[in-house]
Every structure is written in C-alpha cells, then in structure tokens.
Amino acid sequence: MSPSPRRLLVVSTAVGTLGSGRGGGVEVTLAGLVAGLSGRGHSLTVLAAEGSRLPPGCEGATLWSRPGVDQPSWQHQPRQGPVQLPAGSLLAALWETALDHQGEFDAILNLGYDWLPFWLTPHLATPLFHLVSMGSVATVMDEVITSVDRWNPGRLAFHSAAQAGDFSLGGPAKVVGNGFDLASYVFRPHSDPEAGLGWAGRIAPEKGLEDAVAVAAQLGRRLSVWGLRADPAYALAVEASVPAGTIDWRGFLPSERLQAELGRCTVLLNTPKWNEAYGNVVVEAMACGVPVVAYRRGGPAELVQPELTGLLVPPDDRQAMAEAVLMAEQLDRHHCRRWVERHCSREAFAARIDAWLSEGL
Ligand code: UDP
C-alpha cells in the first residue's frame, strides 16, 4: 500500500482503442500501471478512445472515453515532419477532458507520445507526468520532451536507459522499466519442438521482421509470427523474401492467447531496426520460459542477460543471430522466468512509478 493514496488520471494513447493492439506496448504498460497502482491503494481513472475496454486486472479503475480521429503514429513520420492534428482529433478530445477535470485529480499521467500533452505540461494547475514510450523519432518531439526536462526533469520517466539516452537530458533519467501480470504468463519448462522459433510485434519496418525470417530460413526452421499487420505491404514483402512455409502467421492475439502459444517456442527472435524503448515481447517470452536472441540495440539489450536468459548479437548481424539461436536453445528456461519475476512484475513496476510520482509531487 502507498502511504499517501492519490487520485490519478491516466491518459492513454491517441492511437487506437485499448484492446485493439494499435497502441502497441502502451496497452501493456497501461494495464500494468493501472492494476499495480490500484493495488497500492490509489484511485485510478483511465481516459482513452471511445470503444476502449479496460484490460483484465484493471476492473477497479474508472474508464472515461472520448470519440475522435486517431493521431498518425510518430514513428512513421519523417524526422523533420511537423506536428499534425486530424479534423475531429481524438488527441484534442482527450486533453480537453483532462483539462476540464484536472481539479478532480492529484496528478495526471500521460502515456501518449504526442506533442500536445508535453507542451501543455507547465500550463496545467494539476501536475502532469509523462511516461515516454519511444526513443527519438522526430525533431519536434525531441524539442518538446527536452523542454519539459529543462522545466522540471521530475515530470519525465523512461522505460530503459537506452531509450532515455536518445534525448539530451540535463541530468540522469528516471528509468522505470515496465510491469507485467506474471500470473497470466504460464511458464513452460520445455519447448515444443514442432513450434520452432517465435517473433512477436507490430508488423512494421522498424521491427525488422525481415531479419528474423531470414535467420529462420537459414536454419531451416519455422517462424511463428504474432502481431498486428500495421503495414500490410511490408508484411507481403517479408513473406516473399523467404521460402514458402517459413512463416506461420498467427495474427494478433489477445495477450492471454499470445502467451499460451509463445511459451511453446524454442527461442524468440527480437530484431528491432530502431532504438526500441523497452521490448515488451522480450519480457513476455522470458516469462513463459522462452530464451531470447536480440540485437544489442535499445531496451532489449538491457533485458536479455547474455548466456542466462538468451543472447545478444551485433545489430543487423543475421549470421551471428543464427549461431546464437543454437546456443540459446541450450539454456535453462527457469532462469528466464526467475529474472522476469525479480524485475518486471506489476508490483515492482507500480512501486517504481509510485516513488517517481511521490518525488515529483
Ligand atoms: N501483442 C499482443 N498480441 C500479439 C502480438 C503482440 O498482445 O499477437 C502485444 C505484445 O504482447 C506486446 C505489444 O503487443 O506487449 C508490443 O509491444 P512492444 O513493446 O514489443 O512493441 P511496440 O508495439 O510498443 O513498439
């Protein structure tokens, strides 16, 4: 329990409804954060797109929703691109509600990677905090994030040190990791040899699926792929790059079904082409006992413990990844689960978030 229960408003992403998968890792972060902070005695209200559903474990929270048109995702904009707001903007609707009701809360926590809430920070009466969900993808976002840091660094937290390193911060960053409902990830001490290798994530170029399929093809293994086809043309190009039958497209599954299938894999491949802020799927695989072979890039490089829970290889080196898969298949899967239990539970995450908010308030 927290020594000082607070009324907290959590503002979700303006990309997709909760439950759709379009918000990517933010949905998992929100679930861990809301369930974890509720469990510590805080009163939580979630503000999200109309049609959202609160994730399992978050039943104690109140859901407010607003209709509106999604934001374009920043990671698919040109680096020098301007801030955009579509007509009938969901982002504007969410922040209008947050501003109208700010007096009912002790703090507001923003999970969206958007210019508007960062810019608003010094202008709100109620303290506004931001859990930054991506690394640097656009100059105008870098500017607004660093301006919040200059005004009050206590208002920013990051998922990993690698992610925070993308921004020119004035001092050490607050790194809070992420939190998962580990009870819902079933540990499997043995893989299912039929299942082959796994890969999970949004199917979009920054996730580097083409490298994972090339490694699977080189090893003559099947690669199960879970995730939302965010970029269908890219998915087709990846499929065409390897022999037919290499990829087993599993679609986007709700979290509980994903983990049931994920645990059967021998190894998860993680091949980001960008500075991945954290890498939820890395933790989720390890929670099921699946070792991970990842590029030494971004958050995954802080999550995989080499030769214990998986292996790290030089970024974009497919040959090194293929060799590492054979070694990772020999690792004791118990180590993966134990490491995640120690570092990535919802309880541990919520305690870190609570400490950050308390310092800031
Ligand atoms: N995910 C899911 N079902 C799927 C594939 C992925 O629920 O079929 C979830 C996955 O569990 C993970 C999230 O989507 O929590 C992706 O988060 P990650 O941090 O890996 O990447 P992001 O999309 O945020 O860049």
Domain parsing of the chain, residue ranges? 7-179+345-360, 182-342
- The third-level CATH classification (topology) of the domain covering 7-179+345-360 is Rossmann fold (3.40.50)
- Residues pairing with 62 in the sheet: 45
Look at the alpha carbons of 135, 118, 10, 169 in this order and tell me if their dihedral is positive or negative: positive
Tokens of 313: 């290889």
Tokens for 354, please give them. Answer: 């609570």
Helices 280-287 & 25-39 angle (0-180, nearest 10): 60
Task: Find the length of the chain.
Answer: 361
Alpha helices in 51-89 (DSSP H): none
Structure confidence at residue 75 (pLDDT):
86
Is the distance from CB of 173 to CB of 156 less than 8 angstroms? yes
Q: Which residues pair with 147 in a beta bridge?
A: none
d(CA 28, CA 34): 10
The residue to mutate among 27, 28, 290, having the most atoms of ligand 1 within 8 angstroms of its beta carbon, is 28
pLDDT at 96: 98
Give the CA angle between residues 215, 216, 222 to the nearest 5°.
Answer: 170
Domains 7-179+345-360 and 182-342 share a fold: yes
Helices 209-219 and 232-240: crossing angle in degrees, nearest 10, is: 20
Tokens describing residue 248: 């087993």
Any ligand 1 atom below 6 A from CB of 112:
no
CA-nearest residue for atom 23, ligand 1, is 24
CA 133 to chain centroid: 7
Q: Is 255 close to ligand 1, i.e. is its CB under 6 Å away?
A: yes
Q: What is the CA radius of gyration of the chain?
A: 20
Q: Mutation test of ligand 1: which of 26, 178, 209, 258 has the most ligand atoms closer than 8 Å to its C-beta?
A: 258
Give the CATH number of domain 182-342; options: 1.10.10.60, 3.30.70.1230, 3.40.50.2000, 2.60.40.1180.
Answer: 3.40.50.2000
Pocket test for ligand 1, best of 30, 255, 273, 302 (most atoms within 8 A of CB): 255
What pLDDT is recorded for position 74? 92
16/252 Cα distance (integer angstroms): 14
Q: Distance between CA atoms of 333 and 336, rounded to whole angstroms?
A: 5
What is the Cα–Cα distance from 314 to 178, expressed in whole angstroms?
A: 24
Instruction: Take residue 236 and report the two structure tokens written for it.
Output: 């087709």
For 81, phi and psi rounded to 5 degrees?
Answer: -65, 155
**Alpha-carbon span 52 to 14, nearest angstrom:** 11
The residue whose C-alpha atom lies closest to atom 10 belonging to ligand 1 is 281
How much is the pLDDT for 63?
Answer: 98
Residues of the chain with pLDDT under 50: none
CB 210 within 8 A of CB 236: no
Q: Is 25 in the pocket of ligand 1 (CB under 6 A)?
A: yes
